[in-house]
């Protein structure tokens, strides 16, 4: 019986759902501003992608190359990025619209601590934050998850067991 290969989009969907549920739990418990707790989602992503790469190589009975496994891991990363960006947009605009006010309030408190800023500069910084928070958040997700996913894919491809039966020149 042939082993059914789990598609990378399915693994990416599962990983993104885990991180989304975790971020919702942090938000609802009012721990979303705790940086150390937010890094746990990166650990989950790294571990999930590495495990997925190793699992993919096992499903293929080791008949894979580094590039095959890396591509599988990065497809998971791409799925994770798309779903997380959509969720982040919806969470700010629809699901938790009060989150924007909380972010702006937190930014205002940080700006008040900076004594070198005038009131006008602080107001301008707060206005810029309110205008560009969504594009910066989306860009940050794409950049950080892309880097983390590429590193995790490379690690997973490097440590997975490979014994390709054919050389790359034999493949059509």
Give me the pLDDT at residue 74, please. Answer: 96
**Average pLDDT, integer, range 75-94:** 94
**What pLDDT band is residue 167 in, cutting at 50, 70 and 90?**
low
**53 or 164, greater pLDDT:** 53
**What pLDDT band is residue 129 in, cutting at 50, 70 and 90?**
confident
Whole-number Cα distances in Å, 22 to 12, 29, 36, 37, 169: 15, 11, 13, 10, 45
What the block records as the tokens of 11 is: 């693994």
**Average pLDDT, integer, range 145-151:** 96
**What pLDDT band is residue 127 in, cutting at 50, 70 and 90?**
confident
pLDDT digits (tens, 9 = 90+) for 35-67: 889 899 999 999 999 999 999 999 988 888 999
pLDDT over 90, % of the chain: 54
Segments in 29-118 forming alpha helices (H): 35-38, 40-59, 66-90, 98-113
Give me the pLDDT at residue 97, please. Answer: 86
Rounded distance between C-alpha atoms, residue 130 and residue 134, angstroms = 8
**Average pLDDT, integer, range 143-154:** 96
**31 or 16, greater pLDDT:** 16
Q: What is the mean pLDDT of the chain?
A: 88
What the block records as the tokens of 35 is: 């940086």
**What pLDDT band is residue 131 in, cutting at 50, 70 and 90?**
confident
**Average pLDDT, integer, range 109-127:** 79
Among 61, 58, 59, 65, smallest CA distance to 170 is for: 65
Give me the pLDDT at residue 80, please. Answer: 96
**10 or 167, greater pLDDT:** 10
Give me the pLDDT at residue 168, please. Answer: 56
Whole-number Cα distances in Å, 124 to 5, 16, 53, 107, 111: 53, 35, 46, 12, 11
User: Residues 137, 145, 86, 19: is their CA dihedral positive or negative?
Assistant: negative
pTM for the predicted model, two decimal places? 0.84
User: Residues 15, 80, 10, 165: is their CA dihedral positive or negative?
Assistant: negative
Q: What's the N-to-C CA distance of the chain in angstroms?
A: 25
């Amino acid at each position: 019986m042939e082993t059914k290969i789990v598609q990378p989009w399915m693994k990416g969907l599962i990983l993104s759902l885990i991180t989304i549920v975790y971020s919702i739990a942090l938000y609802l418990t009012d721990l979303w501003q705790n940086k150390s707790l937010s890094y746990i989602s990166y650990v989950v992503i790294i571990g999930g992608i590495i495990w997925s790469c190793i699992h993919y190589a096992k499903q293929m009975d080791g008949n894979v190359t580094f590039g095959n496994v890396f591509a599988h891991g990065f497809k998971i990363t791409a799925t994770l990025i798309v779903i997380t960006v959509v969720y982040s947009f919806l969470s700010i605009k629809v699901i938790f619209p009060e989150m924007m006010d909380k972010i702006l309030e937190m930014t205002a408190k940080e700006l008040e601590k900076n004594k070198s800023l005038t009131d006008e500069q602080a107001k301008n910084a707060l206005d810029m934050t309110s205008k560009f928070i969504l594009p910066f958040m989306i860009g940050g997700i794409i950049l950080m998850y892309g880097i983390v996913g590429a590193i995790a894919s490379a690690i997973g491809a490097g440590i997975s067991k490979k014994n390709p039966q054919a050389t790359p020149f034999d493949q059509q």
